[in-house]
Amino acid sequence: MKTLLWGALPYIAVVLLVAGTIWRFRYDKFGWTTRSSQVYESRLLNVASPMFHYGILFVVVGHVMGLFVPERWTDNVGLNEHTYHLLSLYGGTAAGVLAVLGILMLLYRRRTNAPVFKATTANDKVMYLVLLAAIVLGMWAKLAHSSVSEGYDYRQTIAPWVRSLFTLQPDIDRMAGVPLLYRIHAVVGLLLIALVPFTRLIHMFSAPVQYLFRPYVVYRSRDEGQLGARPERRGWEKSKL
Amino acid sequence: MRPMAQIAMVMNLDKCIGCHTCSVTCKQAWTNRNGMEYVWFNNVETRPGQGYPRRYEDQEKWRGGWELNRRGALKLKNGGRIKSLLSIFSNPKLPEIKDYYEPWTYDYKNLTDAPLGDDYPVAEPRSLIDGKPMKVEWSSNWDDNLGGAPEYGDLDPMVEKVRRQARQAEADEQARQAADKVKFAFEQTFMFYLPRICEHCLNPSCVSSCPSGAMYKRAEDGIVLVDQDGCRGWRKCVTGCPYKKVYFNHATGKAEKCTLCYPRVEVGLPTVCSETCVGRLRYLGVILYDADKVTEAASTQDEQALYEAQLGVFLDPEDAGVRQAAERAGIPYDWVEAARRSPVHALISKYKVALPLHPEYRTMPMVWYIPPLSPVVDALTETGHDGEDADNLFGAIDTLRIPLEYLAEIFTAGDVGPVRSSLTKLAAMRAHMRAVNLGERPDRAIAEAVGMDGPGIEEMYRLLAVAKYEDRYVIPTAAVGDARRLEESAVPDTCSLDHADGPGMGGDGPFGQDSGGKQLPLVTIENFHAARKRQTSDEEPDDVREQQ
């Protein structure tokens, strides 16, 4: 069981994430969208959606800091465990509260607004369940094992386990003493990662950063294969229009 | 100079009877689908009126189009790139479906399935958005023919603008009169129809707003399209378009818009709206323009100078230099020829009777309008004057039932000059053609008064009044353009042997001719026996394709 959860599940999730994304990109570009429901209801969304998204982005940054920055590094720049704990407690809680409030408002809107609820698919419902579970469990785990003076130091256990996954030698034993809530949160989190390519969460991979660097007006030539009996042959063609 | 070709449209508003045939046929062809119930790529608005979606012209609210920043450079009115990305998680300026209208159907089943009772069964309206019974309170065309104008007419953003300007210049007699003229008392009111499609702008703000780069302007014909595989549903284009002609498909979560019926235009057919137009008021043709000048023209400081600035972007296809540059830029010969015969070019640049819709949005729109010469002739006749006499007509234009100031807010950012000039030309045409029809000698002074000559007026008359199908639609096919591309150009700008893998391709290189690169497949020439077999056999041999 331990091996399955901490040795196999992470790899399964990552394989599903990568393979699923490639599959989605090749077979379902048309379905790759945020599926916005803003045309039905705008007022609540304008508050809740930025709140949730900015919250969850800070949460992601927090996870990257906690899991991928070894304790040794923060020690070297003179950040001791207690200071780090306070940073993670206050910063993480602030981001978490934003995300939780945001998603609760979004869920309320989704349930009570008839057109929005009608546009909600079964796929969405599963996704919302797992997403909400992951966020709430994470908050719960953090707050249940923390006080201002000290908190559970996941950087001795969970973080090294996560990093060991990348060397393909998962350090399963590290997860043995981890509190139950953290373990459930980790499993649900992995499940969420696996779900990403198969739900609307896929829109996170289309963050349009390229918009900052392209010219405003985009010109494109007509698809050459679209007209005429056959595509142009090489040899005689002049360069493109 | 970087010439590009654009398929553009002109609509002659004098002929529009507001029958909505264009809207209906467009709807049937393009948007009779799930998720697009509320969408009309083509709609016909009664002006004055709020339009569709309601009050879309109020850019202080909807933030569409461009504006100039402090340094005088173009900037999207809804904010630049960084602001756009930071506010990507919701779009505060997005119209909701209710700003268009909530689409509905009727519960027809109740007519046959209702239980026996005292009441006569009715088909209740049901919302197509949430499926529940609804009260029908608005539609794409609720204020058709001034329906509800005494109540809603004041909400027309252009009416507000005319009145605001009048209030600011309270002392100015003329402006105050203009305000008085925008009346909604039923017996004094005025109206005309304004059919609208996507403007396929030269400087499209929707394309510029798209974070995914899924919207694009086609290089060959200037049609603005949405790549459905690239769209990620950020909805920035809906806000970016000041004409609100990009729509959000709420079933697929992607943006859709008028395609100028490109599958038809590519094979030389007019768009569905043009083809089915009962009043035959639409014109389609090619316009050549200089892509290098677009940004500069759109940045013109004075809003009222934008119309002239856009005219300056267009190229004259009669100019030999322009034709050569177009050829060099890869515009097919047939397209340049079509540009010379283009009715759109004639109405916009030659006769200067067509005007752009809201040039102040700085998008350089490419669907232009000939302003309506409202029922001026009849009105004049009623007052006991000769309604078709040129002098009477010219004098009457400033007191038209449709106030010049209102038209100017729509077509020239408030400058009445071009509107008056266009209307006097139409009036001169009436007076001149009356003389012709009565067998009189037309007074040359009439034509000269509007800067034209007799033959010019008669040509314009042929285009506007006779309006033959082949004169209204001069559309070169895309296939001809492609075929042309396969041939060698008449004015080659490079050595014709200089194509990829060709002998002129920069010499043999350091490793000799056979090194690297892909070889052309070896082709065997059909041998003597194979040729005789093919020529004498009764059936076509299976391998004939291989041998060729």
Q: What is the pLDDT of residues B403-456, one digit of tens each?
A: 888 999 999 999 999 999 999 999 999 999 999 999 999 999 999 999 999 999
Smallest CA–CA distance from A237 into chain B, residue: B486
Q: Say whether A29 and B230 touch across the interface (CB within 8 A).
A: yes
Return the pLDDT at A201: 95
Q: What is the pLDDT of residue A224?
A: 63
Which one is the CATH code of A2-226: 3.30.950.10, 3.40.640.10, 3.80.10.10, 1.20.950.20? 1.20.950.20
Nearest to B92 among A46, A236, A239 (CB): A46
Query: How far does the CA of residue A230 sit from the closest CA of chain B (Å)?
Result: 11
Contact B217 A219 (CB under 8 A): yes
A39 and chain B in contact, CB less than 8 A: yes
Supply B545's token pair. Answer: 């394709």
Spell out which residues of chain A touch residue B500, defining contact as CB-CB under 8 Å. 234
Mutation target vs B (from A25, A40, A199, A211; most B CBs, 10 A cutoff): A211
Farthest-apart Cα atoms in chain A, separation? 78
CATH fold group of domain B279-472 = Alpha-Beta Plaits (3.30.70)
Cis link prior to B53 (omega < 30° from 0)?
yes
Give percent above pLDDT 70 in chain B: 84
Sign of the torsion angle spanned by Cα atoms B226, B232, B234, B235: positive
Q: For position B176, what pLDDT does the model report? A: 64
Overall average pLDDT of the B200-211 stretch: 97
| Calpha distance B128→B325 (Å, rounded) | 52
Helix (H, G, I), strand (E, B) or coil at B125: strand
* Residue B283 host element (H or E): strand B282-290
Does A3 reach chain B within 8 Å, measured CB to CB?
no
Query: Is B149 or B544 the better-scoring residue by pLDDT?
Result: B149
Delimiting residues of CATH 3.30.70.20 domain(s) in chain B:
279-472
Strand bridging mode B224-226 / B215-218: antiparallel
Residues B274, B272: Cα–Cα separation, whole Å: 5
Where are any strands of DSSP class E within A130-169? none
The conformation of residue A240, written as its DSSP 8-state character, comes to P
Tokens standing for residue B298: 């759109």
Q: What is the pLDDT of residue A222?
A: 82
Lookup: tokens for B536? 């004498």
Note the Cα B175 to chain centre separation in Å: 31
Read off the pLDDT of each residue in B294-298 and give the average, rounded to a whole number. 97
Q: CB B366: neighbour CB atoms within 10 A?
A: 27
Q: What CA–CA distance (Å, rounded) separates A90 from B156?
A: 52
pLDDT at B400: 77
Q: Which of B57, B13, B308 is closest to B161 using CA atoms?
A: B57
Average pLDDT of the segment spanning B477-496:
58
| Weakest-pLDDT range from B175-184, B238-247, B408-417 | B175-184
CB atoms within 10 A of CB A89: 17
Query: Collapsing DSSP states into helix, strand and coil, what is residue B67?
Result: strand
Positive or negative CA dihedral for B392, B398, B401, B407? positive
Least confident stretch, B444-453, B460-469, B537-546: B537-546
- B84 to chain A: which residues are within 8 Å by CB? 211
Q: Which pLDDT band, with edges at 50, 70 and 90, does B174 fall under? A: low
Share of chain A above pLDDT 90, in %: 76
Amino acid symbol at B425: K
Would you call A77 exposed, middle or buried from its count of C-beta atoms within 10 A (0-12, 13-18, 19+)? exposed
pLDDT reported for residue A4? 93
- Residues in A closer than 8 angstroms to B231, CB to CB, are 33
The ipTM, to two decimals, is: 0.89
Nearest beta carbon to residue A119 from set B132, B233, B250: B250
Residue numbers in A near B483 (CB within 8 A):
228
Among A158, A149, A153, A131, which Cα is nearest to A59's?
Answer: A131
Q: Is B255 helix (H, G, I), strand (E, B) or coil?
A: strand
3-state SS class at A119: coil
Asked if residue A183 lies in contact with residue A121, where contact means CB atoms within 8 angstroms, the answer is no
Residues of A in contact with B289 (CB under 8 A): none
Q: Which residues pair with B473 in a beta bridge?
A: B284
pLDDT band of B178, cuts 50, 70, 90 = low
User: What pLDDT is recorded for position A81?
Assistant: 86
pLDDT tens, position by position, B327-368: 999 999 999 999 999 999 999 999 999 999 999 999 999 999
More confident residue, B77 or B545: B77
Contact predicate A194/A16, CB 8 Å: yes
Mean pLDDT (whole number) for B304-325 = 97
Please give the pLDDT value at position B171.
59
Angle, to 10 degrees, between the axis of helix B404-411 and the axis of helix B173-181? 90
Whether B498 has a pLDDT exceeding 70, the answer reads no
Q: Is the pLDDT of residue B523 over 70?
A: no
CA–CA separation, A5 and B197 (whole Å): 58
Query: Across the interface, do B218 and A219 touch by the CB < 8 Å criterion?
Result: yes
The pLDDT assigned to A75 comes to 87
Q: Spell out, as residue ranges, where chain A has pLDDT lower than 70.
A: 224-241
- Which pLDDT belongs to residue B492? 47
Distance from CA of B267 to the nearest CA of A (A): 10
